[in-house]
């Protein structure tokens, strides 16, 4: 693990888009422990309960649409932030089939608005753009995609994120080229492609763990589709730690970090949905599920693996938690919440940072 990236980020001014979402709220919890001054830009919380609300976090938070270029520009400029983490997105596959235009407007034009806001800001020097493992043209083969593999996307969410990758690259080449950056405008830009992330506090629709725990909390049986689908599961804190490592390197002016990075567990830790289900039931006996027949369901990837060699070898990132630990920590979070109303995020973040 790169030592010192957390120390390096302490007390910084940080701008986070999507702070009310699953990953964004965990990122806020991490940044708070680093004593950062945090600025957020997102829509109001939509799920009830909502992880960000449970954190009762003080910060400078703007509730506005990423599709509003002027508000976003103003928020970024007024923050005086040195580093930006862009997580705001329409982040789900199924809704992307229902509303492709909205998905593209938020994901592609929203990212463009953010990049324009960054260019206009006098303070930003590092930008971490969050895309996804789904940006690759997925051949559904037993193959782990590398950063220079062909981009693509069967569904609208995946293709919108692949478009973001092209957009990011174009900004890097046209405006933020590491070789061309001057002392006055040194903005380094990276894109991060992470696999399926799990952890407490996610109440999104149509995601495996939220579906399971929502059912368990009301003593119902969760209905699961695609039990054979294989994904690179990882704990949200492992994923965010990669974002922080890359962010710190960009802020230090490390031009090698200004590229794209896969963030994924080891190949041996790539599990099918059914393995995650079995593991989950070990940690909460209220979890019960049944498998739905798949008729006329919109296409979703069945096999997806990423190669994590680049980030491991160049930046020494490595996952702290095994898949078993990842599932245990996740289910523990929800159990504590549903059984006693506790939000144990701070404790889990402290434990992770100490590890």
Rounded CA-CA distance 105/90 in Å is 9
Is 162 a binding residue for ligand NAD by CB under 6 A? The answer is no
Q: How far is the CB of 76 from ligand NAD (least distance, A)?
A: 13
Number of residues that bind ligand NAD (CB under 6 A): 24
Distance, in Å, from the CA atom of 256 to the CA atom of 220, rounded to the nearest integer, reads 50
Q: Which of 5, 14, 24, 276 binds ligand NAD (CB under 6 A)?
A: 24
Site string for ligand NAD, 313-342 (x = CB under 6 A): ------------------------------
Contact flags string 248-287 toward ligand NAD, x per CB under 6 A:
----------------------------------------
Which residues, 6 or more positions from 320, have their beta carbon under 8 angstroms from its beta carbon?
A: 1, 235, 237, 238, 241, 352, 355
Residue 7: both structure tokens together: 């120390």
Quote the DSSP letter at residue 56.
T
Going by the DSSP 8-state scheme, the letter that residue 20 receives in this structure is: T
Of all residues in the shown chain, the one whose CB is closest to ligand NAD is 21
Q: Which is nearer to ligand NAD, 64 or 181 (CB)?
A: 64
CA–CA dist 174, 166 (Å, integer) = 12
Residue 152 CB, shortest distance to ligand NAD, in Å, is 16
Q: What is the DSSP letter of 312?
A: H
Q: Applying CB under 6 A, does 22 fall inside the site for ligand NAD?
A: yes
Q: Which residues of 61-90 are buried (b: 16+ CB within 10 A; e: fewer)?
A: bbeebbeebebbbebbbebebbbbbbbbbb
Q: Which is nearer to ligand NAD, 62 or 188 (CB)?
A: 62
CB of 336 to ligand NAD, least distance (A): 20
Q: Six-digit token pair at 57?
A: 């976090």
Name the residue nearer to ligand NAD (CB basis): 43 or 217.
43
- Among 18, 153, 210, 247, interactor with ligand NAD by CB under 6 A: 18
Residue choice 2, 12, 21, 79 for contact with ligand NAD (CB under 6 A): 21
Is 36 within 8 Å of 80 (Cβ atoms)? no
Q: In angstroms, give the least distance from the CB of 88 to ligand NAD.
A: 4
Of residues 46-105, which lie at the interface with ligand NAD (CB under 6 A)?
A: 65-67, 87-91
Q: Which residues on neighbouring strands pair with residue 145, listed in sequence order?
A: 306
The stretch among 3-11, 22-30, 174-182, 265-273 that binds ligand NAD (CB under 6 A) is: 22-30
CB of 207 to ligand NAD, least distance (A): 7
Token code pair at residue 322: 């095994």
CA atoms within 13 A on the CB side of 292: 11
List the interface residues with ligand NAD, window 118-137 (CB under 6 A).
130, 132
Contact status: 43 vs ligand NAD (CB under 6 A): yes
Tokens 């054979």 — which residue? 228
* Alpha carbons 352 and 354: distance in angstroms, whole number: 5
Closest CA to 2 of 199, 257, 192, 179: 257
Q: Minimal CA–CA distance to 71: which of 110, 107, 25?
A: 110
DSSP state of 22: H
Q: Which residue has the tokens 């929502």?
A: 214
Binder to ligand NAD among 2, 5, 15, 23 (CB under 6 A)?
23
Among 9, 38, 194, 215, binds ligand NAD (CB under 6 A): 194
Are 225 and 292 in contact, with CB atoms under 8 Å apart?
Answer: yes
Q: How far is the CB of 98 from ligand NAD (least distance, A)?
A: 14
Q: Which is nearer to ligand NAD, 206 or 325 (CB)?
A: 206
Nearest-CA neighbor of 93 among 323, 302, 343? 302
Residues at the site binding ligand NAD, with contacts judged by CB under 6 A = 18-24, 42-43, 65-67, 87-91, 106, 130, 132, 194, 196-197, 204
């Amino acid at each position: 693990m790169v030592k010192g990236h957390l120390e390096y980020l302490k007390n910084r001014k940080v701008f986070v888009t999507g702070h009310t979402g699953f990953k964004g709220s965990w990122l806020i919890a991490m940044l708070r422990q680093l004593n950062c001054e945090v600025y957020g830009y997102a829509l109001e919380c939509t799920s009830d309960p909502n992880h960000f609300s449970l954190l009762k976090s003080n910060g400078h938070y703007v509730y506005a649409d990423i599709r509003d270029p002027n508000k976003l520009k103003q928020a970024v400029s007024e923050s005086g932030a040195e580093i930006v983490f862009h997580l705001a997105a329409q982040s789900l596959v199924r809704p992307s089939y229902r509303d492709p235009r909205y998905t593209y407007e938020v994901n592609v034009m929203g990212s463009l608005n953010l990049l324009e806001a960054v260019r206009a800001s006098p303070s930003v020097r590092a930008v971490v753009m969050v895309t996804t493992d789904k940006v690759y043209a997925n051949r559904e083969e037993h193959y782990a995609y590398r950063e220079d593999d062909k981009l693509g996307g069967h569904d609208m969410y995946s293709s919108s994120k692949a478009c973001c990758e092209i957009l990011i690259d174009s900004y890097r080449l046209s405006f933020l080229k590491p070789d061309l950056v001057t002392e006055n405008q040194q903005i380094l830009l990276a894109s991060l492609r992470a696999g399926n992330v799990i952890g407490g506090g996610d109440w999104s629709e149509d995601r495996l763990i939220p579906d399971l725990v929502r059912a368990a909390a009301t003593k119902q049986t969760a209905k699961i589709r695609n039990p054979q689908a294989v994904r690179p599961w990882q704990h949200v804190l492992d994923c965010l730690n990669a974002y922080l490592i890359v962010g710190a390197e960009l802020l230090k002016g490390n031009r090698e970090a200004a590229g794209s990075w896969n963030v994924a567990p080891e190949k041996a830790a790539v599990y099918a949905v059914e393995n995650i289900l079995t593991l989950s039931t070990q940690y909460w006996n209220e979890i019960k599920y049944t498998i739905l027949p798949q008729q006329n369901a919109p296409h979703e990837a069945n096999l997806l693996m990423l190669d994590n060699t680049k980030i491991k070898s160049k930046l020494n990132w490595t996952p702290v938690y095994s898949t078993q630990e990842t599932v245990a920590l996740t289910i523990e979070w929800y159990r504590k919440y549903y059984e006693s109303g506790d939000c144990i995020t701070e404790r889990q973040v402290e434990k992770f940072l100490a590890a």
